[in-house]
Chain A
Amino acid sequence: MLEFFENLGKITLGSFAKVGRGVFFLLHTLGGTGSVLSRPNLLIKQLYSVGVLSFLIISISGLFVGMVLGLQGFYILSDFGAAESLGVMVAASLVRELGPVVSAILFAGRAGSALTAEIGLMKATEQLSGMEMMAVDPIMRIITPRFLAGFICTPLLAALFSSIGVIGGHMVGVGMLGVDDGAFWSQMQATIDFQKDIVNGVIKSVVFGFVVSWISLFEGYDCIPTSEGVSRATTRTVVNSAFSILGLDFILTALMFGDT
């Protein structure tokens, strides 16, 4: 019995300690922002590996998600004789929810796991300690550029996802199923509000980018420096990122759209 409480206490204190380490890690990372921005080469390398290489998977997924929304939406809406509202449905669901959320989850799977594995291996092969020996701060040199790159990329990727998705919905709805082209766009433009829908979607994806980059870099930095530890950290990155994205999405949606 006593052992049970002992374990429970250990687990609780352990997770508190981890959150505390995470917060210090984040503050340290953000502290390096100035020195990274004054050396943009570091940032560009990371923007390439985090952003440019995610471009293809994001655009193709966006196209297919938009096309599926077009198909499903058409069959449901045409039951109510409202097939002309297809544009509204596709655009609203992409811009408000699917764009930020799905692109952030894809980003966590494509780029976040790679970041964790990279940092974890650097730790396991003692490259990070080597840097410290040379009086180079590994967090500012290695972590901050990756963090900033993730933070910059996610809103751009989410915007790409939503735009390509709307084009995909248009291809299916107007091209295949014969919804009227003018009604598709004009109802969309009449309903989607710039402030309420698009700006809120961008805010969401900025938050998700922040959280996913933080989780994946911290898991890598905090992992047990063995091959098993790195693999566990990579798994935790994907799982925790998906959890936090979906949970935060609910909270943000409730805050943004809850009162209307």
Chain B
Amino acid sequence: MQNSKTQDTLVGLFVACGIAALFYMALQISNLGTYTGSESYTVTAHFQNSGGLKVKSPVMLAGVRIGRVASITLDKDTLESVVEMHIDSKFNNLPDDSGASIYTAGLLGEKYISIDPGPGLSGTFLKDKSKIDNVSSAIILEEMIGKFFLNKTESK
């Protein structure tokens, strides 16, 4: 039988390793570590079609993530999809004539919103509850293929 102090130490080490592994999973493997917990402001954009976009999809500017999609709803009057996104407060100098488009990461990858900074002619910036007017919708692969074949048959 081992002396009880060594045993206590080993048990303590084991429990500490186990808890460290839990923290490691929480912070390194899951999305918990990517929440910065910082302030954000909400911006909306109306898309004709937001196909494939999901809540928590990233919002990128020049390839850097600046926020996440908060909600996707349907506007009953215009029948457009209203995408609400939270943008990190430290990016508070985006010109309010910026555009938003839905792109795909890779051919079959996930959809994300890309913000294209505008020329900033009015000199004002996007702030809480502002709306992005200059939008382009998601590219639906099936539609494109359909159009492509239609053009082919017409040109014959």
Chain A interface residues toward B at CB < 8 A? 41, 44-45, 47-48, 51-52, 55, 80-82, 91, 95, 153, 155-157, 159-160, 162-164, 166, 185, 188-194, 197-198, 202
Q: Chain A residues with Cβ under 8 A from B21's Cβ?
A: 156, 159-160, 162-164
Q: When the two chains form their complex, are residues A185 and B28 in contact, meaning their CB atoms are under 8 A apart?
A: yes
Taking a contact as CB atoms under 8 Å apart, the answer to whether A51 and B11 are in contact is yes
Q: Judging by beta carbons under 8 Å apart, are A189 and B30 in contact?
A: yes
Q: Within the assembled complex, what's the spacing in Å between the Cα atoms of A119 and B8?
A: 23
Interface contact A194-B10, CB-CB below 8 Å:
no
Report which B residues bind A (CB closer than 8 A): 2, 4, 7-8, 10-11, 13-15, 17-19, 21-22, 24-26, 28-34, 58, 106-108
Q: How far apart are the CA atoms of A215 and B144 in the complex, in Å?
A: 59
Given contacts A47-B14, A166-B29, A194-B30, contact A159 B7 (CB under 8 A): no
Contact A48–B10 (Cβ < 8 Å): yes
Task: Find out whether the CB atom of B30 lies under 8 angstroms from the CB atom of A192.
Answer: yes
Chain A hits for B15, CB < 8 A: 47, 51, 156
Q: B26 — which chain A residues lie within 8 A by C-beta?
A: 194, 198
B108–A198 touching, CB < 8 Å: no
Known contacts A52-B10, A192-B30; can you find 20 more A-B pairs with CB under 8 A?
A44-B8, A48-B10, A51-B15, A52-B13, A80-B108, A95-B29, A155-B22, A156-B21, A156-B22, A159-B21, A159-B22, A160-B17, A163-B24, A163-B25, A163-B29, A189-B33, A190-B34, A191-B31, A193-B31, A198-B25
Q: How far is the CA of A91 from the CA of B29 in the complex (A)?
A: 7
B4 partner residues in chain A, CB cutoff 8 A: 41, 44
Interface majority SS (helix, strand, loop, mixed), chain A: helix
| Listed A/B pairs (18) with beta-carbon separation below 8 Å | A44-B4, A44-B11, A52-B10, A52-B11, A52-B13, A55-B14, A81-B107, A153-B18, A156-B15, A156-B22, A159-B18, A159-B25, A160-B17, A162-B25, A162-B29, A163-B25, A189-B30, A198-B30
Distance of A26 Cα from B33 Cα, bound (Å): 39
Q: Are B29 and A188 within 8 A (Cβ)?
A: yes
Q: Give chain B residues whose Cβ lies under 8 Å from the Cβ of A44.
A: 4, 7-8, 11
A83 CB to closest chain B CB, in angstroms? 11
Contact B31 A82 (CB under 8 A): no
A156 x B19 contact (CB < 8 A):
yes
* Whole-angstrom CA separation of A166 from B26 in the bound complex: 13
Partner of A45, one of B7, B18, B106: B7
A197 to B31, CA, bound (A): 10
- Nearest A residue to B22, CB-CB: A159
Closest B residue to A160 using CB positions: B21
User: Would A52 and B14 count as touching, CB distance under 8 A?
Assistant: yes
> In the complex, what's the smallest C-beta–C-beta distance from B4 to chain A, in angstroms?
7
Most chain B beta-carbon contacts within 10 A, residue among A52, A82, A197: A52
Per CB-CB distance, the 3 closest pairs between chain A and chain B, nearest first, are A156-B18, A159-B21, A194-B30
**Contact: B11 with A155, CB < 8 Å?**
no
CA distance in complex: A152, B29 (Å): 23
> Does the CB pair A192–B14 fall under 8 Å?
no
B48 to chain A, nearest CB (A): 26
Cβ distance A136 to chain B, nearest Cβ, rounded Å? 20
Point out the residues of chain B lying under 8 angstroms from A188, CB to CB: 29
CA distance A155 to B26 in the complex (A): 14
Q: Which residues of A contact B31 (CB under 8 A)?
A: 189-194
A44 — nearest CB in chain B belongs to which residue? B11
- Least CB distance, A92 to chain B, in whole angstroms: 9
Q: A164–B11 Cα gap in the complex (Å)?
A: 19
